[in-house]
Each structure stands twice: as structure tokens, then as C-alpha cells.
Chains A and B, each alone.
Chain A
């Protein structure tokens, strides 16, 4: 009996040996940050009700912040205006391509994390619902300007839940553009200030394929020439990862 007790004590003491942190088999999950929601507002300078959509965006950004609600005004579609010799237009070919791709039929209309068309009175509810969902990865963006000639953009993604596959998209936005806008009362406002206006897709219209595993960190670097028509101090970067099930995560960074 004495021998058995001694053996058991020896076993117990042995079990208490120190094991290095690296050698432990218990997996610690990466910390997930809050989800940001991408709100793509398909708008147009000829669309008299579109300023109503902008008002909803302003309310959402005031409530949640512009890094939680990443709003992008994409000018295009039949009520977009590309400009002429006398009037500045904000519609782009890429914006028109997005409008057509999503089979949108009216304006203003939004995509909230790319789960289908949402009419602007329902944006707030859709954004709130998306904000509550967990995100499988974290995204960080930063950008600096090089003497107003070029933008140097850095995007970092970190997988936090399983393996995420989709496309990484990087866009350039501009705030504070004064340009003509038709207003809900039927008047034309030449002094209307347009914010978070989509300017350019940095890495192609539909982004680039990425796969990121849980715990893995990847970084992408881009250089983008600054168009002389843009005001570099008002530029910002929006990045997001999306797949057939919607947007997995989004982030926004103002130019430093």
C-alpha cells in the first residue's frame, strides 16, 4: 500500500512539470474587433430625391462613426452626371458598371454589405442588423500622400475566425466636392457639397482574390497616382473583403 501511495504521489508531482507557453496545446483565438458595415449609396446629381439618402447616411455616421458605417456615394446610373464643359460631373464608368451589375432600378438605392438592394428609408435598420454580426477578419487601412503626386496605401488583414476567402477591394473616396445637385424641392443647387464620393477602384473594378486563415496576417501595398481633379487633403481610403455571401469586413482611413 505504501508503494502504491508513493507511486501516485510521484505521478502527481510529475504532472505539475512546467510547460512552455509555446508548447501548450490550448489554442487561443485571435481577438475580433467590431464589424464595420459597408453602405454603397447609388446616387446621381440629376436625382432629386438622392439628397434624402445622403441625410440618412449623415445620421448613421453621426450615430456610429465613419469607421463603423463606411459610406460610399457611387455616382452613376441613368441619373448620374458625367460632366460637360460647364458643369462638374461625379459619375464614373466604374460607378455605372456597378449600377448595372447589381441590376439596380431606382435611385437613391443602397447595398448594405452587399445583401441586395435596400431603399433608403430602410438603410438604418439594415445597418443596425449588420453591425451586430461577427466578422471573420480584421482590416486596417492607412494611406499617405507623396507631394500630392501619389498615394501610398497599405492594407492589413488578420483572420480571426476560420478561413476567409473572397476579394479584397480598395477604393479612393473624396469629401467636400462642391458640384451641382438637383434637390427634392425641384431646384438645382450649384453649391451642394458632396461627401464620400467614389473616385477610383485602386485594385481593379472587382478587387483581387484573397484567402486568409485564422491567426494569419497579410499586408498589401499599393501606389496610386493622384488625379489633378482630386483634392488630396480630402481623400480617404475604403477597403473591404467580400464574397458571394456579402461583405466580410470593411475599413476606412483618412489620408495622413
Chain B
């Protein structure tokens, strides 16, 4: 009996995995290489955004594997959020959460064969962790009310962010300004690709200059 149960459990798992791989949309990297269902992305790289804050991008994309447009969205559970905001701009709107919990994005259309950047990131305020499980879903439209509701649940990915920055001061020492200079010493508000000098001025009057690579 135990063997029979194990056999059916294994069979269901295989069917489940097969179903996920046939799901019309999949998580992917920028080149369109798909991630297996249940994958975990370990994210430790950070960069400065245009507003002088730190962000940890996922560079996560969603790929439409079909030749038809699909109405999609996501359900995500923020399991750990030590500080800052978890932001996702997928598929059409941007949402920033500052607490743990389970949330649903609005739905939107992904064109045939389209590869869309999820524009999803952690915007930390300090060293710490942020762990989010993200699941893709498809939507169907009620023909009478025209409202969209979830049709099928698809693959899941876990985003495991860890920020360890030596130049973040202890809590209470706030950053007053972050200014960027290129290697010729010219001040810029808009760092592009390349190496820049980042000058951080703290509330206590101290400052620190770091060399940053923008990719």
C-alpha cells in the first residue's frame, strides 16, 4: 500500500512538473533562458539608483512561450523584509510593499513570444534580508462583467536578497546626500554605464567616497 501511495504521489508530481513546464509563461533571464519551477535566485548585487538610493535588481524576466498574447499577473509572498521596500512593476503597474504578506499584482497582457522585464527589486535602507516567493498566474475574463479573475497558477521562483554593505552606517546615522562624479570629476545626476565616484554625506557631517561600477 505504501509503495502504491508513493507511486501515485510520484506520478502526480511528474504531472505537476510537466504542467508547469507547459504553462504559457515562464520566468526567464534577459536572454530568454527559462528558470525551472521552484528555482531560487540568490541576489547579493546592489547598485545606486537615480535618486541616490540603493537598489537590488533581480533582472528577472517573463517569457511568453506561445504565439498568442496571454493575460498574466503574479502572486507574491514576502516572507522576510528586514527593511526598505520590495517593488515590482509587473505586468502594467508598480507596487511597493513595506510589509510581509501575500499580494496579487494587477493583470496585464503579454504579447506573443514577448520577453518582459519584471522590473522587480528590493530597495533596502540598511543591511539585511528580503525573501519573496513569486508565482505567475494567468487570467480569464468574465464575458458578462468583463472583469478578470485568476485562471491558472503557474511556476514559482524564490528571490533571496541579502545586502551586506560595509559603508552603511549604523541605524540612526542617516544619509543626507549621495552625489555622483565621473572619473573626470564632473558631477552628474544620471550615472550611466561605467565607473563613478559616489560621495555619501551623513547627518553627523562625516562623508565617504566609494568607487561604483554601473552596468
Point out the residues of chain A lying under 8 angstroms from B96, CB to CB: 46, 77-79
The 0/1 profile, CB within 8 Å of A marked 1, for residues 68-103 of chain B is 000000000000000001010100111111100000
Is B178's beta carbon under 8 Å from chain A?
yes
In contact, B52 and A87 (Cβ under 8 angstroms): yes
In contact, B50 and A78 (Cβ under 8 angstroms): no
In contact, A188 and B190 (Cβ under 8 angstroms): yes
Is B176's beta carbon under 8 Å from chain A?
yes
How many contacts between A and B, using CB within 8 angstroms?
79
In contact, B89 and A48 (Cβ under 8 angstroms): yes
Point out the residues of chain A lying under 8 angstroms from B176, CB to CB: 84-85
In contact, B94 and A87 (Cβ under 8 angstroms): no
In contact, A81 and B95 (Cβ under 8 angstroms): no
Is A126's beta carbon under 8 Å from chain B?
no
Point out the residues of chain A lying under 8 angstroms from B40, CB to CB: none
Point out the residues of chain B lying under 8 angstroms from A85, CB to CB: 176-177, 179, 201
Q: What is the bound-complex CA distance between A14 and B96, given in angstroms? A: 79
Choose one: B51, B94, B119, B189; the contact of A106 (CB below 8 Å).
B94
In contact, A106 and B177 (Cβ under 8 angstroms): no
In contact, A186 and B178 (Cβ under 8 angstroms): no
Point out the residues of chain B lying under 8 angstroms from A37, CB to CB: none
> Chain A: residues with CB nearer than 8 A to chain B?
44-50, 52, 77-79, 81, 84-87, 105-109, 119-121, 180, 182, 186, 188, 190
A–B Cβ pairs within 8 angstroms, 19 of them: A45-B51, A46-B96, A48-B94, A49-B92, A49-B93, A49-B94, A49-B119, A77-B96, A78-B87, A85-B179, A85-B201, A86-B179, A87-B52, A119-B93, A180-B50, A180-B51, A182-B49, A186-B119, A190-B189
Not counting A79-B96, A108-B94, a sample of 12 additional A-B residue pairs whose C-beta atoms are within 8 angstroms of each other reads A46-B87, A47-B89, A49-B93, A77-B96, A85-B176, A85-B201, A86-B52, A107-B94, A120-B93, A180-B190, A182-B50, A186-B119
